[in-house]
Amino acid sequence: MSGFVSFVGSGPGDPELLTIKAVDRLKRADAVLFDDLSSGPILTHARPGADMVGVGKRAGQPSPRQDHVSRLLVEYAQAGGRIVRLKSGDSGLFGRLEEELIALQDAGIEYEIIPGVPSAVAAAAACGIPLTRRMTARRVQFVTGHNVDGVLPEDIDLAALADPAACSVVFMGKRTFPKLAKALFERGLPPETSAILAEAVGTPEQKITRSTVTQLAGQLEQEIGSKPALILYGPLASF
């Protein structure tokens, strides 16, 4: 008989932000296929003796192809038992979840999806600010900073991203943010718009840098570093 797959959102990296349901599935798993950002202390919740398989992908670094990850997930499930596919943040947000769901559906394998704390929400909490603000930020938008080729998507909605009344969160955007910022200025976004670079959120290496869109774009033109990061900009609170 085929096994059962639990897609588990592990949150931003802090094991204390795991849900009770996520911990339960880890403790009962026969195998855990985990992303890089879901490793470390989070994996201590896994059952002793479970197969632990790293399948993480990081921008600019050698990474397994998505079709390989999907095939490996199917193979483990077909061998039987309980499988956890551990993804950072919430697996439904820029987590390549759909490709893996389709692979399981094609193979006739049952699954469940357990949500996790989205990294954007965790980043705002780490900064001590809300993502929405009454009267000034009534809308929140999440966008990926690069496409499969690692460049800024050509079909990105720049008009929406230049809306001064929206709080915008850019995932995986350190390399492309200088180009994005230039395009946003051309569409009317004020250069002094508040911006935050939230790096390694939920880990001991967490670093929060507050600046403006202009300053942050200039900073990232000089150096991007190796830490995973989110960029928040718009009418952000500044307590």
Which pair of structure tokens corresponds to residue 56? 């993480």
Query: Of 57, 179, 207, 227, which is the active-site residue?
Result: 57
Query: Of 14, 35, 90, 163, which is the active-site residue?
Result: 35
128: helix, strand or coil: coil
Query: Of 14, 87, 90, 172, which is the active-site residue?
Result: 172
57 is catalytic: yes
35 is catalytic: yes
8: helix, strand or coil: strand
135 is catalytic: no
Position of tokens 């296929």?
33
Share in percent of the chain as helix, strand, coil (round to 5): 30, 25, 45
- Write out the E strands in 64-206: 82-87, 110-114, 139-144, 166-171, 194-199
Measure the CA–CA gap between 166 and 100, rounded to whole angstroms.
32
Position of tokens 């897609």?
7
Measure the CA–CA gap between 141 and 80, rounded to whole angstroms.
39
The residues carrying an active-site annotation are: 35, 57, 172
